[in-house]
């Protein structure tokens, strides 16, 4: 399969499926519990149809936006994807470089196999850091100082992960065992790994993630990966953390994982610059609102006062335009670029971003809208 045969993100997902063992594909593709929210995230875009202005010539629509003080060529950022290096050895490095080529923001996950200094050196577009407090406050403070020194433009504080969601596919297909320390437990899944020799070779030579280089503990050692689920529970990110983080971090902060107007107002009152309306790609609490579903409430609550971003289920440029019409300033792409990374590393991410860009340009022309800043609710309506 070649990338030129990938015409949309669903094609890249198919290529990812073929390249990855079940454990890794399901880690990327799966959601929590019955995966109701996971599926709703994509389906909900179909609840809206467009209201185009025809007979309008739009030779070159303006897609640019400014998010958290940073100008970007398109209204999208690459979302934090933990364990990206396990999905493909280029992982976060490939994502930062590909985002740079398209001049969009990249948000590095705390759960990264590359140091933030390495990523910052490779990033040619705005780099942001997503924050979990896995090693507690002291480790968090050290990471934030490093992020500032490396030139990160802002923080995304993820508040919807007080415990890892129940992603049953991870238990079924060997992801837990792969990350664990017991080599015998991995044996059961060996045939599946061997059946994916390209991924396995990369994993053995380049992709093994044993520690997190951006979480350095009091003993000076990086955080050991096997403890992530437990550490999430003992290091819950709360509103009180925002207070000390704001004192330490002088740049803009976004709160990721907001689904109600109340939480958005709280984020605003605590001094955040932006919120991301998000259910974490359907991977945390199942049966919550979709990002698109919660967006109008959040935009009505704080839209005039802070930047509202959204994510979840964005697989086409048309989805991005619907989100903007409902009040988002930009979206985060999660699996939308990560399927490309899984299929072919950096080149696969390039392909995914190309698809989104072409979709955006074409859809804006078809709508007769010359700038994403002009998108509003008059460009869409609820399906009858």
Ligand X SMILES: Cc1cc2nc3c(=O)[nH]c(=O)nc-3n(C[C@H](O)[C@H](O)[C@H](O)COP(=O)(O)O)c2cc1C
Count the neighbouring beta carbons within 10 Å of the beta carbon of residue 99. Answer: 27
CB of 337 to ligand X, least distance (A): 9
Q: Where are the beta strands (DSSP E) in the chain?
A: 48-50, 65-67, 70-72, 76-78, 105-108, 127-131, 154-158, 211-216, 222-224, 253-258, 274-277, 307-311, 330-333, 380-382
**23 part of the interface to ligand X, by CB under 6 A:** no
**340 part of the interface to ligand X, by CB under 6 A:** no
CB of 151 to ligand X, least distance (A): 21
Residue from 15, 90, 109, 290 binding ligand X (CB under 6 A): 109
Give CA–CA dist 295/299, Å, rounded: 6
**15 part of the interface to ligand X, by CB under 6 A:** no
CB of 305 to ligand X, least distance (A): 23
**212 part of the interface to ligand X, by CB under 6 A:** no
Give CA–CA dist 159/260, Å, rounded: 13
Show the binding pattern over residues 79-98: x = contacts ligand X (CB under 6 A), - = does not. Answer: xxxx----------------
Which residues sit opposite 362 in a β-bridge? Answer: none
**311 part of the interface to ligand X, by CB under 6 A:** yes
| Phi-psi map region of 124: left, alpha, beta (phi>0 left; psi -120 to 50 alpha) | alpha
Q: 195 is written with which tokens?
A: 């059946």
CB of 59 to ligand X, least distance (A): 30
Give CA–CA dist 351/273, Å, rounded: 31
Catalytic residue among 88, 196, 273, 280: 280
**154 part of the interface to ligand X, by CB under 6 A:** no
CB of 57 to ligand X, least distance (A): 33
**74 part of the interface to ligand X, by CB under 6 A:** no
- For β-strands 211-216 and 222-224, DSSP reports them as antiparallel
The piece of 276-284, 321-329, 347-355, 365-373 that touches ligand X (CB under 6 A) is 276-284
In the bound state with ligand X, the residue whose beta carbon lies nearer, of 72 and 332, is 332
Give CA–CA dist 282/132, Å, rounded: 18
The piece of 48-56, 77-85, 166-174, 345-353 that touches ligand X (CB under 6 A) is 77-85
Residue from 158, 202, 235, 363 binding ligand X (CB under 6 A): 158
Give CA–CA dist 372/358, Å, rounded: 14
Q: To 10 degrees, the CA torsion angle through 168, 173, 179, 184?
A: 130
**In this structure, are residues 113 and 194 in contact, taking their beta carbons and an 8 Å threshold?**
no
CB of 319 to ligand X, least distance (A): 9
- Residue 299 exposed, middle or buried by CB count within 10 Å (0-12, 13-18, 19+): buried
- Asked if 88 is an active-site residue, the reply is no
Residue from 44, 314, 353, 375 binding ligand X (CB under 6 A): 314
**37 part of the interface to ligand X, by CB under 6 A:** no
CB of 43 to ligand X, least distance (A): 12
Which residues sit opposite 157 in a β-bridge? Answer: 131, 255
Residue from 266, 280, 316, 322 binding ligand X (CB under 6 A): 280
Give CA–CA dist 203/374, Å, rounded: 46
**334 part of the interface to ligand X, by CB under 6 A:** yes
Residue from 41, 202, 214, 235 binding ligand X (CB under 6 A): 41
Residues lying near ligand X in the complex (CB under 6 A): 27-28, 41, 79-82, 109, 111, 130, 158, 256, 278, 280-281, 283, 311-314, 332-336, 338
Catalytic annotation, residues: 280
């Amino acid at each position: 399969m070649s990338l030129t045969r990938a015409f949309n993100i669903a094609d890249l997902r198919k290529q990812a499926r073929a390249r990855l063992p079940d454990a890794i594909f399901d880690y990327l593709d799966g959601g929590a519990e019955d995966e109701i929210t996971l599926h709703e995230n994509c389906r909900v875009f179909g609840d809206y149809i467009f209201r185009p202005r025809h007979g309008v010539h739009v030779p070159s629509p303006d897609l640019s936006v400014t998010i958290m003080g940073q100008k970007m060529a398109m209204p999208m950022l690459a979302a934090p994807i933990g364990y990206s290096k396990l999905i493909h050895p280029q992982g976060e490095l490939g994502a930062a470089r590909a985002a740079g080529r398209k001049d969009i923001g990249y948000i590095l996950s705390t759960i990264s196999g590359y140091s933030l200094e390495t990523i910052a050196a490779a990033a040619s577009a705005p780099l942001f850091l997503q924050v979990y407090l896995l090693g507690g406050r002291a480790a968090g403070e050290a990471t934030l100082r490093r992020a500032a020194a490396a030139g990160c433009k802002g923080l995304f504080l993820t508040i919807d992960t007080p415990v890892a969601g129940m992603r049953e596919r991870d238990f079924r297909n060997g992801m837990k065992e792969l990350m664990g320390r017991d080599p015998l437990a991995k044996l059961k899944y060996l045939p599946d790994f061997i059946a994916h020799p390209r991924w396995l070779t990369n994993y053995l030579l380049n992709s093994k993630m044993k520690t997190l280089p951006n979480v350095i503990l009091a003993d000076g050692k990086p955080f050991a990966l096997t403890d992530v689920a437990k550490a999430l529970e003992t290091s819950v990110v709360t509103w009180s953390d925002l207070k000390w983080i704001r004192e330490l971090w002088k740049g803009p902060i976004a709160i990721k994982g907001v689904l109600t107007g109340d939480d958005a107002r709280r984020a605003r009152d605590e001094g955040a610059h932006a919120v991301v309306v998000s259910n974490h790609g359907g991977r945390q609490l199942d049966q919550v609102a979709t990002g698109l579903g919660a967006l109008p409430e959040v935009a009505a609550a704080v839209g005039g006062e802070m930047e509202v971003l959204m994510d979840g289920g964005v697989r086409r440029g048309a989805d991005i335009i619907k989100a903007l019409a409902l009040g988002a300033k930009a979206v985060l792409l999660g699996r939308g670029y990560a399927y490309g990374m899984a299929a072919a590393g950096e080149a696969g991410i390039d392909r995914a971003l190309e698809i989104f860009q072409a979709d955006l340009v074409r859809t804006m022309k078809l709508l007769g809208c010359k700038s994403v800043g002009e998108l509003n609710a008059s460009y869409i309506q609820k399906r009858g």
